[in-house]
Structure formats: C-alpha cells, structure tokens
C-alpha cells in the first residue's frame, strides 16, 4: 500500500523548481520520447493491420475461399447436400480453368481463363459490386475481362477479341492451336492489378470445349459465411471430400502473409527500441533527482521514514512519468491512426507528393485498423519497461546514509 505521506512527497518531487531546470528538461524528453515511441508503434501496427485486412478482403473477394480439386474421378455432387457443408458454405460453384493467349492487333498476352456456369457467375462477390460494368451472366462465346486488361489493350464492352487456346486440334498437316473470337460482355475490377490484367471469365461449357477439358476436371469453389476462420472450415471440407485435393485462399498466399507477419513482428521489435531508449532517460532523470534530493532524503530518514517508503517514492516518480507518457502516446497514436487517410491527403495536396502510390500497393487509400489487443500489448510493454528502469534509482536512493548526506550538505 502507498501511504498519504508517500503520495504527497512523490507529487512534491514531480513539481518543477527553478534550480531543477536541467532535471526538468530530462523529464520532459523522457515523457516526449515514450509518448512518441508508443504513438509510432500504434500508428505503424494499425496501418500494417489495415493493409493486411484490405489485402485479405481483395484476395478473398476474387478467389474462392476453399477449392476442391478432383484427382481422377469427378467430384461427387451428392456431397453438396451434406449438413456440415451447408452450415459453413454460402455458395457452392463449379468452375474450371486453363491458360491461353489473347491476341489484339499487334499485341499478344498470356492469360488465365476461368469458366463458370451461366447461373453461377452472378453468385461471385466480384460481380456483385458497384465497380462491375456490364451483364452479370456469362453466355456462350462471351467473356468478362479485368479493368487493367481493358486499359492495356484498349478494349470496351462489345469489342471482339481473338483468343488462342493452349490445347490443339488435329488437322491433316498436324496439330494446330485452337483460335476463337469472343465478345466482351462485362468488365470487372478486383482492386488487385495482377488479377485484373491476367484473368478472363467465360462460360464453363465454352471453356471446356475450347480447351479440351472434361466435366470430370471441374473444381468446386466454396464461398464461406465466415472466410476468416479458414483452417477449421478447411478440415470440415476435407473430411467431406476425403478423396479430393482441398486448398484455401490462405494456402495459395501463404508466403505473402508469412512475409507480412514477419515484417510486422520485426517492425514491432525495432520500434520498441524507441521506448527503451526513452526509458533510459528516466534512469538519468531519477539519478539526478536522487542527487539533488540527497538532503531531503537524509531528513526523511532522520525523522523515521523507512527505506521501503523511500524506494516507493522514487519508484512512483518514474512510473508516473512513464504511465502518463504511455497514455498520452496512446491518445496521439489512436487519433493519428483514425485520421491517417485525411492526413495523407492533406500532405499530398500541400506538398504535391505521392505518399501511397496505388500502382505499388494496389490500394487507392491508406488503410488503418485499430486493434485493441495491439494497443494493450504496446501499453503493457511500455509500462513494464518504465517499471524496470525505475527500480535502480529508487534502490540507490534508499541506500543513502543520512549521516554522511547531512554532513556534506
């Protein structure tokens, strides 16, 4: 417990006096350093969390949450009615894919063809958003292309385009690649330039005919009600389709998200050094405070104040500086994180600089996601560091000999 005397002396030592000018400067820098360290950590972690969430949303919005791929036999359609599958799945869609070359005047480009049944195409999340233009059904000999691809090849809805299949057709002069003309019926935008410039949607039956694919090769795309809880739901699907290969959006992008996780952890460690460096200023400040208050400590001891009380007083001084600085840093960090996009726009317009290039990050705005658990972790680390660095000066103050201290005053 902390007594009233200990509280009063602690607050008295915290008050500024003219002769303690240098000590006040050190205390102010300690406060500012810890506040900035906490604020920067919160801002960086919020932006990285926001970037990860936006990236997941775009990837999940474009790809199936879980894909079931057959080995040699076609997927058993009776499993579609499984009760466990109905509980977790929002939509079940059959698909197939192949590679091809798109030909436009003097340009050619390798692309991925992805086929869906006419009634299934409109179920895709990518099609049911405000950025989709054109027909939401994919009929025979019609295709849907990405916005980036339409820009790169100067294409519009209604244009005809030639596509060369990777499969061939036997003729009297040998095997020749298939070539077919398709009409653009719609343009989609996923928000990821790689997808928008390399993927074309078309009718599933047309794709199978064009690429010499069989119905046995069809994949099952599962769109979940809760795509974030992916691992547990993958296990459920794997048990239902035990003879098929099952993979998720997380499996397809494992290296990317592993890199993001490592980067986030490294940034946390590096930026935590700011708080540690600032905390060392508390040691300096408290050590000087002990030196300046030698006479006061001696008087307190001579009137019967125990060593434990002396330790508590100087310990509380350090902890109060660190704790108030931590909470002030949280306030700055959360406020900055909440308005980070407004701040980015202001700096970009004022100084005419691009802080967040869309072509590099695939995002038009700077994302930010304030995570309560991250803030709590940062706060605990900051306060813990403050507590640790306050112990040594407090112990040193308690070890002062009151007789010697008064003798030289």
Torsion of CA 299, 302, 308, 311, to 10 degrees: 20
- Taking alpha carbons only, the member of 117, 23, 34 closest to residue 381 is 34
pLDDT (0 to 100) of residue 19: 54
User: Which DSSP symbol is given to 42?
Assistant: H
pLDDT (0 to 100) of residue 144: 92
Angle at 165 between CA 160 and CA 167, to 5 degrees: 160
User: Which DSSP symbol is given to 357?
Assistant: -
Which residues, listed in sequence order, are joined to residue 111 by a DSSP beta bridge? 100
Q: What percent of the chain has a predicted confidence (pLDDT) above 90?
A: 9
pLDDT (0 to 100) of residue 170: 64
pLDDT at 35 over 70: yes
pLDDT at 21 over 70: no
Interval 229-248: pLDDT, tens = 788 888 888 888 888 899 88
User: Which DSSP symbol is given to 131?
Assistant: T
Interval 296-329: pLDDT, tens = 777 777 777 788 888 888 888 888 888 888 999 9
Maximum separation of any 2 CA atoms in the chain, in Å: 115
* Buried b or exposed e, range 92-114, using 16+ CB within 10 angstroms: bbbbbebebebbbeeeeeebebb
Q: What percent of the chain has a predicted confidence (pLDDT) above 70?
A: 90
pLDDT (0 to 100) of residue 252: 81
Give dist(CA 403, CA 287) in Å, integer. Answer: 20
Interval 109-160: pLDDT, tens = 889 999 998 888 888 888 887 888 888 888 888 999 988 888 888 888 998 8
pLDDT at 3 over 80: no
User: Which DSSP symbol is given to 125?
Assistant: T
- Can you tell me the mean pLDDT for 282-295? 76
Within 8 A by CB and 6+ apart from 25, the residues are none
pLDDT at 406 over 80: no
- Taking alpha carbons only, the member of 127, 105, 100 closest to residue 206 is 100
pLDDT (0 to 100) of residue 106: 73
Give the pLDDT band of residue 104 (cuts 50, 70, 90).
confident
pLDDT (0 to 100) of residue 256: 74
Interval 43-87: pLDDT, tens = 888 888 888 777 777 777 677 888 999 887 888 878 888 888 888
Torsion of CA 346, 347, 353, 357, to 10 degrees: -70
pLDDT (0 to 100) of residue 18: 53
């Amino acid at each position: 417990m902390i007594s009233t005397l200990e509280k009063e002396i602690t607050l008295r030592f915290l008050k500024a006096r003219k002769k303690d000018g240098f000590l006040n400067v050190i205390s102010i820098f300690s406060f500012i350093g810890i506040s900035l360290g906490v604020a920067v950590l919160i801002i960086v972690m919020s932006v990285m969390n926001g970037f990860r969430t936006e990236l997941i949303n775009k990837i999940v919005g474009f790809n199936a949450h879980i894909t079931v791929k057959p080995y040699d036999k076609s997927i058993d359609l009776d499993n579609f009615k499984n009760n466990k599958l109905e509980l977790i799945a929002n939509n079940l869609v059959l698909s197939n894919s192949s590679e091809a070359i798109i030909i436009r005047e003097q340009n050619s480009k390798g692309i991925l063809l992805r086929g869906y049944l006419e009634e299934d195409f409109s179920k895709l999340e990518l099609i049911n958003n405000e950025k989709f233009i054109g027909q939401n059904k994919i009929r025979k000999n019609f295709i849907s292309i990405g916005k980036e691809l339409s820009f790169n090849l100067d294409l519009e809805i209604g244009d005809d385009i030639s596509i060369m299949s990777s499969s061939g057709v036997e003729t009297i002069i040998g095997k020749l690649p298939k070539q077919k003309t398709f009409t653009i019926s719609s343009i989609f935008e996923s928000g990821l330039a790689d997808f928008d410039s390399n993927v074309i949607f078309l009718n599933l039956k047309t794709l199978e005919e064009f690429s010499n694919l069989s119905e046995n090769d069809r994949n099952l795309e599962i769109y979940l009600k809760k795509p974030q809880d992916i691992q547990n739901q993958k296990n459920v699907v794997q048990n239902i389709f035990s003879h098929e290969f099952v993979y998720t959006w997380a499996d397809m992008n494992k290296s990317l998200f592993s890199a993001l996780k490592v980067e986030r952890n490294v940034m946390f460690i590096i930026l935590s050094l700011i708080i540690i460096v600032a905390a060392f200023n508390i040691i300096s400040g408290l050590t000087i405070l002990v030196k300046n208050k030698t006479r006061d400590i001696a008087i307190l001891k001579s009137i019967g104040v125990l060593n434990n009380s002396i330790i508590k007083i100087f310990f509380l001084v350090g902890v109060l500086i660190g704790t108030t600085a931590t909470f002030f840093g949280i306030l700055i960090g959360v406020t900055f994180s909440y308005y980070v996009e407004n701040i980015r726009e202001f700096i970009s317009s004022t100084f005419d600089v691009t802080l967040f290039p869309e072509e590099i990050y695939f995002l038009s705005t700077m994302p930010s996601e304030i995570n309560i658990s991250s803030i709590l972790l940062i706060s605990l680390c900051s306060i813990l560091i403050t507590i640790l660095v306050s112990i040594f000066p407090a112990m040193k103050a308690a070890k002062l000999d009151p007789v010697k201290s008064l003798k030289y005053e």
